[in-house]
Amino acid sequence: MQLLIQSGDLGPKWFHVALRTLVWMAEQKTMVKSNHIAEVIGEDPTFVRKILAKLAKEDLVKAFGGRYGGYILEEDPRSITVLQVYQALGSAETTPHWTVQSTGSELFISLIISKAEQKFQSTLASYTIEDILLHKENPTSTTS
């Protein structure tokens, strides 16, 4: 999660690249090569392949190796939540409050961050890849 998200900010690069990739793949409804995805979304092919590998590990996309291989959505876009993408790619690396020198405020800071993360994830859970796809042309209308 970012420290400050401003209007129009896409969030961490890995997150918006993954979401944009899945939305584009949902439109294609067929197997696509990572190089083609990278070209369409304007990102580095190696970075896109790393993201696709993580998404495949979490069964959000299916990977087919070899010369004629590629990637295809494993699930219906209506069933893939933005939270699933976040959890598939996000780092679980945190700093437990008991691992830093105590000033007496660590536990309460931990509680604040935990509550914020819960609300953030709750919001992500209320949207799917299909929601993003349906709102491409009308971003101001929202579901949920």
Residue range 70-74: mean pLDDT, rounded: 93
The verdict on pTM exceeding 0.85 is: no
Residue 1: pLDDT band with limits 50, 70, 90: very low
Q: Spell out the SS3 assignment of 52-115.
A: HHHHHHCCCEEEECCCCCEEEECCCCCCCEHHHHHHHHCCCCCCCHHHCCCCCCHHHHHHHHHH
Class of domain 13-134: mainly alpha
Residue closest to 61 by CA, chosen among 114, 106, 21, 92: 21
Answer yes or no: are the C-beta atoms of 100 and 106 closer than 8 Å: yes
Q: What is the structure's pLDDT at 126? A: 97
pLDDT tens, position by position, 4-63: 455 557 778 899 999 999 999 999 989 999 999 999 999 999 999 999 999 999 999 999
